[in-house]
Structure 1
Amino acid sequence: MIYSCEEHIDIAIDTVVDEYETFPLLTKVSEGGELSTTCEYCRNQAVYMVENA
């Protein structure tokens, strides 16, 4: 599972495709649901959770 901002979503998708050889499942992170989750590639607020399906 990778948390990503809008800017790095393409890298997160590529990472999951490369590792699991399947299209990833994208879930929008709710603003109040996760405790200030940040992007794994920068320090911006995460917008998506990318995981293998």
Structure 2
Amino acid sequence: MIYCCEEHVELALDIVVDEFETFPVLTKVDVDNLSTTCEYCQNIAMYIVANE
């Protein structure tokens, strides 16, 4: 599971496809969890990219 901002969502999708060889699941982060930061920068995470 990768938390990412709007800018890095394509990178996160590519990484999930490369690592797990499966179609990624893109989920918008809940408003309650807006303190979570992107794994690639310090921006607020807007999406969760997962392999399930």
Unaligned runs of 5+ in 2: none
Residue number in structure 2 paired with 1:46: 45
What code does the residue aligned with 2:47 have? Y
Residue number in structure 2 paired with 1:36: 35
Q: Distance in 2 between matches of 1:12 and 1:26?
A: 10
Could you state the TM-score of these two structures normalised by the residue count of structure 1?
0.91
Unaligned runs of 5+ in 1: none
Q: Distance in 1 between matches of 2:34 and 2:49?
A: 17
Size of the aligned set, in residue pairs, is 52
Kept in 1, the 8 Å contact 2:34–2:45? The answer is: no
Instruction: Specify the SS of the correspondent of 1:27.
Output: strand
Greater fraction helix: 2
Could you state the TM-score of these two structures normalised by the residue count of structure 2?
0.93
% same residue: 65
Instruction: Specify the SS of the correspondent of 1:49.
Output: strand
